[in-house]
Structure formats: C-alpha cells, structure tokens
Amino acid sequence: MTFLIQQTFICTIPLLIVAMAGMFAERSGIINIALDGIMIFGSFGGALTVYAFIKSGLFTESPQLIYVIAMIVSAIAGALFSLLLSFSAIKLKADQTIAGTAVNMLAPALVLFVIKIFFMQDKLVMPTLPGGKTLNFAILNTELPEFLQAFFSRAYISTYIVLGLYIALSVFLYKTKTGLRLRACGEHPQAADSVGVSVSAMRYLGTTISGALGGLGGFIYITTSAGGTAAGSVAGMGFLAIAIMIFGNWKPVGIALGSFLFGLLRCIGSAYASIDINGDGVFLLQEIGLPMYFYNIIPYAAVLIVLMFTAGKSRAPKAEGIPYDKGMR
Amino acid sequence: MKKTLSLVLAAIMLLGCLSAVACSKATYEIAIVTDVGQLMDKGFNQGTYEGAKAYAEENKKTYKYYQPANGSNATDEDRIAAMRQAINNGAKVIVTPGFLQETAIKTVAKDNPEVKFIFIDGWDLGLDNVVGVSYKEQESGYLAGYAAVMEGYTKLGFTGGGGGSNPACNRFGFGFVQGAAAAAKEKSVELGIKFSFQNGASFSASDALQSQISGWYQNGTEVVFACGGSMFDSVKAAAATYENAKIIGVDVDQSYESDRVITSATKGLAASVKLMLAKFYDGKFEKGGVTLGAAEDATGLPTDTFSTLKTWTLAEYNALYAQIKNGTLVPDSETPTDCNSAAWLTDWLTKGGYTNVTLSFE
C-alpha cells in the first residue's frame, strides 16, 4: 500500500502540473498543444543546470538546493520557449494548433542538436561527482512510521512544491482579479476588452504561466522517471496531460482527480506484480494470472469509460483557439 | 591558328588542373560510417571508431569517419550517401556499426563489389563482400549473473529491451540467468530472479518502467540488470529511491553513469573491429557472419573498474573468463525467437538441474 501511494505520486505529479499548464493557456484563449515540446525544452534547461552545478562543484553537498534551482531554471526555460507560441498566436494571429505543432517539432530537434554539439552525446546524462558518487535528489525517510512513509519517504521535494503550486494557482485563477480577467479572455475576449482588459496581455500571461509549468513538469518527469537524463523526449507526457486537462473539464479539481486516477491506474498497470495491498505477502494481481497487457490497458480504458459518461457536460473555454480580433463583436 | 593554339593550351591547362586536383585528393582506406546519432556516443559508434582508429594508427593506414546527414533521424538514403562518399574518397573497407545499416549496406555493397563491408552487431547478409559481426552476448550476461551471485546477491532482476524479440537482448538475459543459476548452485544458495521484457519495447526510459522496477526493489530485489539503451535511466531513477538498490549495466561500462552500478555486461567493440580489420589486411576477409566472444576478447565485464565489486575478485573473474575463453565453459546461446514466455527458460533450468532458482516472469 505504502509503495502504491509513493509510486502514484511519482506518476501523478508531472501529469498534474502539465495539465494545469494546459489549463492556464486554454483558459486565456490559447490552445497549447505545444506542451510536449515545452516539457522537452524545460527538462533540458533543468538537466543543463544540474550538469553545470556538478561540473563546477557548487552546492554538491546539498542536492535538494540544486534540484530546486534547476526546477526554477526549467520553469524559466519553459516560459521563454512558450513565447514562440504566444508571439505567433497573439501578435501574428497564426493558427494556434499549427504553431503548437511547430514548437513540438522544434523542441526535440533543438535540444538534441545542442546536446550533440556541446556534449558529443545522444543524451545529456547527469554526471557523477568527482569520486564516482551520484547526486541523489530522492528523499529517503525509511525510519518514519509506515503511514507517514507513504507520503514523506522515497519521495521528491518536487511533489510538495507542485502540490503547493497547484493550490496557489487554483486560488489565483478563481479568487483574484487577474484570474477573472484571464478567464474572461478565454470565454469572451471582446467583452473583456470592452471593459478595458488588455486581451493580449492576459493571453501572454496565460501562455507564459503555461510554459513555466510545462517546463517544470518536464524536468520533474525526467528526474523522477529517467534519472535526470535529458534525451529530447518525455515519452508523450505532454499529450497525455492535454488529455487529462480535457478529462478534467478545464478545471483544477477535475484535473487533480483525473491525474490522480490516471497516475494510480498507470502505476498499477506497470507495477501490478509488485503490489501487495494489505501487506500479507500475497501479490493478488499477479496471482490472478491475467496477461500483463490487461493491466497496461486499464488506465486508458478507465479514462475512456469515464469520458463516455462525463463528455456531455464537458465544455471548453468558448474563445480558445480563435485569435482575438478587435473588429469582431 | 592562334585560336586553335589558345584552345589547346586552355584544354591542357584545364586537364592539368583536374589531374592536379585528382592527385592531391587524399584517399582514406578505412571508412567508418556511423548509423544514427553522434560519433562519440559512448556506445556503438564510439567503440567502432576507436577500434578502427587504433588499428589504423598502429598499421599506418589512412582512416576517416562519415556521419550520415540528419543526425539521429538519419535515413537509409543518408547512410547510402555517406557510404558512397566514403567510396569516392578511396575507401577499401567500410566499417559500419548497428542493425540500422542493413538496407544501406545491401544497396551500396551490390554496386561496389570491390569494397569490403564490416557490419558490426550485424549478421550474414548473403553478399560476397559483407561480413556480419555478432556477439556472444550470453557470455557477458553469464559473467554478469555469476558476478552478482558471487557478490552475495540472491534476488536479481532482468529487464530487457525489444519486447522479447531482440536477439541480442534475449541472449544477454538468458546468459544472465544461466550465470546466476550456475553460481547459485556452486554456493548452494536459493535464488530468486525476476525476468521481464514488459516495458522495454522501444528501449526508452519511461515512468512505467520506473514504477515496475521500483516495485522489484520494494519487494527485495537487490540488483537489476538493465539491458537496453535508455532503459538504464529509468532503472537508475528507481534505484535512487532505494538505499541499497544496485544496477548492472550493458554494452559499455556504465559505472560512469551511476554509483549504483556494480558491473556491466559489455561488448568489446574496439577489440572486435581491430580484429576484423586485421583479417581484412591479412587477406583473410571471409564473407558471411562471424560471432565473436570471449575467445576474441569481445565479451566480458569491464576490468578497469572492477573495484565496484567488493567480494568477487578480479583473479576469480579471470579464472572463470579463461574457462569461457578456452571453451571448457559454454553458456547456452540458444533463445526462442519470442521470449515473452517463461517456458523455455524454466525448461532449461529444469534440464540443467538448477532446482534452487525461482524464476518469476512478468
């Protein structure tokens, strides 16, 4: 059980933050299909920061500090990269889906190009410290009582940061003036403009927050799932997150439910043979003897089923994907 | 008259220029054509290049490497262009690593029967001027499995790439089980091995693989053999959350990537490239396929970083290695074409009388 909770967090957190990223862009009226590319670029920014710290020997005795700084850098990298999308979508009024696809294609190419030119490798691997030690970002509190271990052991500090960000951003979107304006720009930008809200400023804000969260999510993903190796790929997590966002009906609560449900099922799907729910040493899911494919299908099948019942109520921001034109009322 | 003379003179000059260019154009006898990605990839391309370079420098041969256009998205067209360029530059022998080269080699080799091709990690392509070099991965796997058990680990895991259909990964995995079983019999200890091709179909890192391997470590698996490219990264991420989790690397010495790596089941690319080039220059080039192993120093564990193993000594390793080398110990190379079933391995274990091994297949 403890193991399942720990793993669920690892599977869920990147999805949660990237789905939130998608929500921020879309609620401001910009379809952000570029999340996958932004994640890739952000993950590279973070990995590069870790690399620089290790090579320069700074703060190497406090890995958590390096991890937090790298997370900030990855968010900045993601935000900067998302400007490509927001500039083309807002200033140039380009088709957002096409602009996003272009960003998605650019990101892995650019990242791999830089890695190859400067590191002569196919992927940027987190180097070992002088003396052969590996920097470890995971928090191990194995002496805690079992119940607390589920939440505070074999975990990453990013989990708590993301949960904090999730609450702060939800409050921001629903309880502040700026949040209201941002949402208005995604529903009826002409109305927002008529009361003096700058639609392009709000859309830039939404997309930039989206980029920052996407970059952060990308770096968290490669750290928790790939040992901090930036390889120009996040295994399609960006698209998965977009699906979760739609599943969550463009609302924070729905997104949280969706990503936890999906994270949990995905985790069961891949580690079913090691899950011992009640701690009696019987691995029930493996004992049943179903083929592994069955467990691998579960998360996707479950999401499809839930969507079948909830899709009727699903409602996207009304003005998303439409470049704002003052002349159209 | 003047006109004719000037024309003739001009023609002579032109010819002179051309021939001067032709003469001064450097030729490179040994060509290395990479498959995808960077030359210095710490893997196949680099190993091949280093072997060719070492041979060329020792024997005063000219060599040059060619990287197909488009980097990691290089297509057959790009590889064909690179090989043709190599031949234009006077290549007599082309060394190409990686199974992706098949189509390119077939195309270019047919057009240029006088040029020889060494297809590293390849197979018999049925052409007179191509030799496919494959490896006895089961030997490296055997040694790694043996080392892990001798080191005192009794709960092992194997996660392989290619979804059970990649012959090299299958041989690594089955060799690993054989070696571990043999060591367990010798020490008479009970052994538990988890064996899976589940999350490695594309040889890439994923959160799914990370979860699966974390589950293994959670339930007591002590060391996991990560056999397949970037899969190592996910095993490394899983090991990061368990204090004593250990990893076995593959292909090249991966102890430089993590302090959790106790050893790596390697292929001696450089050694085998040197060997094949020497054969070529001695006039012993043979078409078809060759399989290199310990006898040619082409398989084994890295001895430079052997200190990552604490209990099992280098001397003991060398003794075992010598047995494989001289043929007294032959790890079984046979694997089924699709390994997504434990039946074959279980049969093998029963036949060999390895009753103290519990194999759980995922």
Q: What would the pLDDT profile of B282-297 be if each residue is shown by its tens digit?
A: 888 888 888 899 988 8
Q: What is the Cα–Cα distance from B5 to B249, expressed in whole angstroms? A: 73
Coil vs helix vs strand at A77: helix
Helix (H) or strand (E) holding B31: strand B30-33
Mean residue pLDDT across chain A:
91
Instruction: Check residue B17 and give its pLDDT.
Output: 53
- Chain B environment of A229 (Cβ under 8 Å): 205, 230, 233, 236
Q: Which residues of A touch B226 (CB under 8 A)?
A: none
Which uninterrupted H or E stretch holds B76? helix B76-88
Q: Give the whole-angstrom CA distance, residue A122 versus residue B73.
A: 12
Q: Residue B44: its chain A contacts at CB < 8 A?
A: none
Chain-wide mean pLDDT for chain B? 86
Q: Answer whether B331's CB lies under 8 Å from B179's CB.
A: yes
Q: Which residue of B has its CA nearest to A290?
A: B362
Res B24 pLDDT > 60: no
What lies within 8 Å, CB to CB, of A11 at 6+ separation is A263, A264, A266, A267, B207, B211
Answer positive or negative: Cα dihedral of A277, A279, A280, A285.
positive
Does the pLDDT of residue B20 top 50, yes or no? no
| Residue for token pair 């960000």 | A165
Asked if the model's pLDDT at residue B276 lies above 70, the reply is yes
Say yes or no for a CB contact (<8 Å) between A140 and B243.
Answer: yes
Residue A156 makes CB contacts below 8 A (sequence gap 6+) with A10, A13, A67, A137, A138, A139, A220, A223, A224
Q: Which residues of B touch A (CB under 8 A)?
A: 37-43, 71-72, 198-199, 204-212, 214-216, 218-219, 230, 232-234, 236-237, 240-243, 255-260, 360, 362
B38 contact residues in A (CB cutoff 8 A): 116, 120-122
Q: How much of chain B, in percent, has pLDDT values that exceed 70?
A: 89
**Residue of higher predicted confidence among B46 and A10:** A10
pLDDT range class, residue B13, cuts 50, 70, 90: low
Classify the complex by whether its ipTM is higher than 0.95, answering yes or no: no
Question: Residue B207 and residue A221: Cβ atoms within 8 Å?
Answer: yes
Task: Specify the DSSP class assigned to residue A129.
Answer: P
Q: Give the E-state strand segments of B39-102 in sequence order.
A: 63-66, 93-97
Q: Quick one: how far is CA B62 from the chain centroid?
A: 25
- Residue A65 is encoded by which pair of tokens? 């500090």
Each residue's pLDDT, cut to its tens digit, for chain A (329 residues) gives: 888 999 999 999 999 999 999 999 999 999 999 999 999 999 999 999 999 999 998 888 889 999 999 999 999 999 999 999 999 999 999 999 999 999 999 999 999 889 878 887 778 888 888 877 888 899 888 888 888 888 898 999 999 999 999 999 999 999 999 999 999 999 999 999 999 999 999 999 999 999 999 999 999 999 999 988 998 888 889 999 999 999 999 999 999 999 999 999 999 888 888 887 777 777 877 777 777 788 888 888 888 888 888 877 888 899 988 898 888 76
Q: How far is B253 from chain A (nearest CA, A)?
A: 13
The pLDDT of B203-215, averaged and rounded, is 90
Residue of chain A whose alpha carbon sits nearest to that of B203: A235
Q: Which residue has the higher pLDDT, B220 or B14?
A: B220
Question: Given an 8 Å threshold on Cβ–Cβ distance, is B209 in contact with A136?
Answer: no
Q: Which residue would you say has higher pLDDT here, B346 or B227?
A: B227
> Is the pLDDT reported for residue B38 higher than 80?
no
Q: Nearest CB to A134: which of B214, B241, B259?
A: B259
Whether residue A232 contacts residue B171, with contact meaning beta carbons closer than 8 Å, is answered with: no
Chain B residues touching residue A286 (CB < 8 angstroms): 362
For residues A173 and A24, give the distance between their C-alpha atoms in angstroms, rounded to a whole number: 8
In the structure encoding, which two tokens stand for residue A266, read together?
A: 């995905």
**In Å, how far is B298's CA from the nearest CA of chain A?**
23
DSSP state of B265: E
- Taking an 8 Å cut-off on Cβ atoms, the answer to whether A133 and B259 are in contact is yes
Chain A hits for B215, CB-CB cut-off 8 Å, are 3, 7, 271, 273-275
Domains detected in chain B: 26-135+268-299 (3.40.50.2300), 137-266+301-361 (3.40.50.2300)
Q: What local confidence, expressed as pLDDT, does residue B22 receive? A: 47
Residue B2 has pLDDT above 70, yes or no: no
* Separation of alpha carbons A270 and A295, rounded Å: 7
- The answer, yes or no, to whether residue B267 has pLDDT greater than 70, is yes
Task: DSSP letter for A29, please.
Answer: T
3-state secondary structure (DSSP) of residue A233? coil
Q: What's the gap in Å between the CA of B283 and the closest CA on chain A?
A: 35
Candidates A7, A17, A239, A295, partner chain B, best to mutate (most B CBs within 10 A): A7
The minimum CA-CA distance between B59 and chain A, rounded to whole Å, is 27
Q: Mind listing the pLDDT tens digit for each residue in B103-131?
A: 899 999 999 999 999 998 888 888 889 99
Domain ranges of chain A: 10-128+145-235
Helices (H), chain A: 2-27, 35-56, 63-86, 96-119, 146-152, 157-175, 177-187, 189-194, 199-226, 237-247, 252-271, 284-288, 292-310
Instruction: Please name the residue that has the structure tokens 């060494």.
Output: B118
DSSP state at residue A128: P
CA of A315, closest CA in chain B: separation in Å?
30
What is the rounded CA–CA span in Å between residue A44 and residue A110? 10
Which helix H or strand E contains B216, and what residues bound it?
Answer: helix B207-218
pLDDT at B23: 47
Question: Looking at residue B7, what is its pLDDT?
Answer: 67
Max CA separation in chain B (angstroms): 101
Residue B209 has pLDDT above 90, yes or no: yes
Q: Which residue has the tokens 């200190």?
A: B307
Q: Would residue A140 be called left, alpha or beta, if left means φ above 0 and alpha means ψ between -120 and 50 degrees?
A: beta
Sheet holding B246-251, edge to edge: B299-300, B261-267, B246-251, B223-227, B155-160, B191-196, B357-361
In the structure encoding, which two tokens stand for residue A238, read together? 């960006």
Measured between alpha carbons, how far is A252 from A254 in angstroms, rounded to an integer? 5
Q: How far is A119 from chain B (nearest CA, A)?
A: 9
Cβ contacts (< 8 Å) between A270 and chain B: which residues? Answer: 198-199, 207-209, 211-212
The answer, yes or no, to whether residue B40 has pLDDT greater than 80, is: no
pLDDT tens across B52-92, in order? 998 999 999 899 888 888 766 678 888 899 999 999 999 99
Q: Are the Cβ atoms of B240 and A136 closer than 8 angstroms?
A: yes
Nearest to B240 among A3, A123, A138 (CB): A138
Contacts of A76 (CB under 8 A, 6+ apart): A45, A212, A215
Out of B208, B236, B260, name the one closest to residue A270 (CB). Answer: B208
> B234–A227: do the CB atoms touch at under 8 Å?
yes
A266·B256 Cβ contact <8 A: no
| Residue B352 reports pLDDT greater than 80 | no
Nearest by CB to residue A274, choosing from B43, B215, B237, is: B215
Nearest CA distance, B30 vs chain A (angstrom): 22
pLDDT at residue B338 tops 80: no
Q: Tell me the shortest Cα–Cα distance from A222 to chain B, in angstroms.
A: 9
Task: Give me the total of CB pairs closer than 8 Å, taking one residue from chain A and one from chain B.
Answer: 139
